[in-house]
C-alpha cells in the first residue's frame, strides 16, 4: 500500500497549500466550496485515470512524460477555462473578449450563457464517452471478461462490423423524440461530432499499431494519435464536471482552483497505475472503468433531455455511479489475485 500512497503525497501537499491560500484570500466558506469542487472532479474522473493508464502503456517514455506534464495543462486551462469561454461566445453571440470579461466581472450572467450551451456540450461529451465504452466491449478479440454473461455476448456481437457505431447512432436518434424541435439539428450535429472524433482518434492509433511494431514516422504518428485521443477523452470528462461546477458556484477562480487540484490528483493516480503496472494485477479495474464511462455518457445524454424541462440531475449521481463500478471491479480483482496466489502457493 505504501508504494501506491507515495504518489499522492505531492497532490495532497499542493491541495493543502491551495486551500490555505483560498482561506486567507476568500475565507472558510470559499474553502468549503473549493473542497466540494475538488471531490466532484476526482469522483467524475477517477475512471478516466484508469483508461488513460491503459492508453499510456502503448506510448514511449517520452510521450508518457509529455502527457503527464503538459497534458495536464491542456485539460485544466484549455477545457475548464478557454473551452467554456468559447462555448459562451458561440451560444451568446458575443466576442471571446466579452465572454472573458463576463466570466470575471458578471459571474451570474456568464453562468446563464453557459447554460445555453450546455445541451450541445452534453451531446458531444455523452456520445464521445458512450463510444469509448461500446468500442471496448464490442471487441471480438477481447478474451478477459468481468461480467461474463454480458461481456461474452457483447464480444461475440463485435464480429458484426461497426455494430457499436450503429447502436450509438440509434441512441442519438432516439433522443430526438424528447428534444424540442428547435434544438434537434444542433444537438444531432454535436453528438455526431463527438462520435466521429472518437472513431477517428482511436482508429488512427490502432492503424499505426504499438511502438514495437511501427517504424519511423508511423511510430511517431501512432503516439501523436494516442496523445490526441487522451486529450479528447480528458476533455469529455472535464466538460460534465465544468458545467456541473457552475451549479455549485459561479465564481470562476474557485472553479478553476477546485477542478485544477482535482485534475492534479487524477494525474498522480494515472502515474501510479502506469509506473506500478497496477492494471496488470487488478485485472478487472479497466472493465469497471469502461462501465463507469458508459454510465457517465448515458447520464450526460439524459441531461440533454432533462435540461429543456428544467429538471436538474444531481452532479454527485454521475460520480457515485462511477465509483460504485470501480469499487466492485477493484474488489473482484483483489479476490482474483488472492485466489491466484493460493493456487500458485
The domain spans of the chain are 2-340
> Could you tell me where the DSSP H helices lie in 60-106?
61-73, 83-92, 96-105
Q: CA 200, 203, 206: angle at the middle one, nearest 5? A: 150
Task: Give the pTM.
Answer: 0.78
| pLDDT for residue 134 | 92
Q: How many CB atoms lie within 10 A of CB 112?
A: 16
CA pair distance 164, 128, nearest whole angstrom: 12
pLDDT at residue 212, as a whole number: 39
pLDDT of residue 217: 37
305 or 85, which is more confident:
305
Quick check: 49 and 265 in contact, CB under 8 A? Answer: no
Name the band, by pLDDT with cuts 50, 70 and 90, for residue 221: very low
Give the C-alpha distances (Å, rounded to integers) separating 76 from 140, 176, 257, 261.
36, 32, 9, 9
What DSSP designation does 212 have?
A: T
Q: What is the pLDDT of residue 268?
A: 83
d(CA 130, CA 112) in angstroms, rounded, equals: 27
pLDDT digits 0-9 by tens, 65-117: 777 777 666 666 666 667 667 766 766 677 878 878 887 777 777 777 777 77
Shortest CA distance to 48 belongs to which of 241, 312, 258?
241
Length of the chain (residues): 345
Identify the three-state secondary structure at position 23. helix
| Residue of 206, 175, 209, 178 whose CA lies nearest to 192 | 175
Residue 194 C-alpha cell reads as 463527438
pLDDT of 283 above 60: yes
Has residue 220 got a pLDDT over 50?
no
Mean pLDDT, the chain, rounded, equals 79
pLDDT tens profile 163-174: 999 999 999 999
By C-alpha distance, which of 155, 161, 150, 86 is closest to 117? 86
Closest CA to 303 of 312, 291, 294: 312
How many other CB atoms sit within 10 Å of the CB of residue 174? 11
Degrees to nearest 5, angle at CA 150 with 148 and 156? 90
Distance CA 16, CA 34 (A): 12
Q: What's the start-to-end Cα distance of the chain, in Å?
A: 22
CA pair distance 106, 84, nearest whole angstrom: 15
Say if residue 136's pLDDT is above 50: yes
Rounded Cα–Cα distance for residues 169 and 158 (Å): 16
Give the H or E element holding residue 116: helix 107-137
Alpha-carbon distance of 17 to 20, in angstroms, equals 5
Least confident residue range of 38-47, 59-68, 212-221, 306-315: 212-221
Amino acid at each position: 500500500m505504501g508504494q501506491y500512497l507515495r504518489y499522492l503525497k505531492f497532490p495532497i501537499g499542493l491541495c493543502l497549500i491551495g486551500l490555505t491560500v483560498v482561506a486567507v484570500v476568500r475565507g472558510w466558506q470559499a474553502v468549503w466550496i473549493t473542497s466540494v469542487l475538488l471531490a466532484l472532479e476526482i469522483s467524475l474522473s477517477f475512471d478516466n485515470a484508469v483508461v488513460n493508464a491503459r492508453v499510456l502503456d502503448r506510448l514511449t517514455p517520452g510521450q508518457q512524460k509529455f502527457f503527464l506534464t503538459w497534458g495536464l495543462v491542456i485539460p485544466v486551462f484549455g477545457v475548464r477555462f478557454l473551452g467554456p469561454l468559447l462555448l459562451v461566445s458561440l451560444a451568446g453571440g458575443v466576442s471571446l473578449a466579452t465572454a472573458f470579461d463576463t466570466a470575471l466581472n458578471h459571474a451570474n450572467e456568464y453562468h446563464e450563457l453557459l447554460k445555453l450551451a450546455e445541451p450541445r456540450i452534453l451531446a458531444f461529451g455523452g456520445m464521445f464517452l458512450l463510444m469509448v465504452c461500446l468500442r471496448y466491449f464490442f471487441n471480438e478479440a477481447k478474451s478477459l471478461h468481468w461480467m461474463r454473461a454480458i461481456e461474452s455476448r457483447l464480444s461475440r456481437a463485435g464480429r458484426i462490423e461497426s455494430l457499436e457505431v450503429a447502436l450509438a447512432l440509434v441512441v442519438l436518434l432516439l433522443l430526438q423524440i424528447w428534444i424540442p424541435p428547435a434544438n434537434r439539428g444542433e444537438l444531432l450535429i454535436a453528438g455526431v461530432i463527438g462520435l466521429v472524433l472518437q472513431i477517428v482518434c482511436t482508429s488512427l492509433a490502432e492503424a499505426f499499431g504499438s511502438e514495437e511494431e511501427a517504424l519511423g514516422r508511423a511510430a511517431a504518428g501512432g503516439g501523436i494519435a494516442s496523445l490526441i485521443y487522451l486529450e479528447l477523452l480528458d476533455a469529455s470528462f472535464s466538460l460534465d464536471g465544468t458545467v456541473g461546477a457552475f451549479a455549485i458556484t459561479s465564481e470562476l477562480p474557485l472553479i478553476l482552483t477546485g477542478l485544477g487540484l482535482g485534475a492534479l490528483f487524477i494525474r498522480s493516480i494515472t502515474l501510479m497505475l502506469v509506473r506500478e503496472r497496477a492494471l496488470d494485477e487488478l485485472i478487472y479495474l479497466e472493465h469497471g472503468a469502461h462501465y463507469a464511462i458508459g454510465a457517465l455518457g448515458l447520464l450526460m445524454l439524459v441531461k440533454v433531455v432533462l435540461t429543456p424541462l428544467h429538471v436538474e440531475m444531481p452532479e454527485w449521481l454521475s460520480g457515485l455511479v462511477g465509483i460504485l463500478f470501480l469499487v466492485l471491479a477493484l474488489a473482484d480483482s483483489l479476490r482474483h489475485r488472492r485466489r491466484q496466489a493460493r493456487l500458485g502457493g
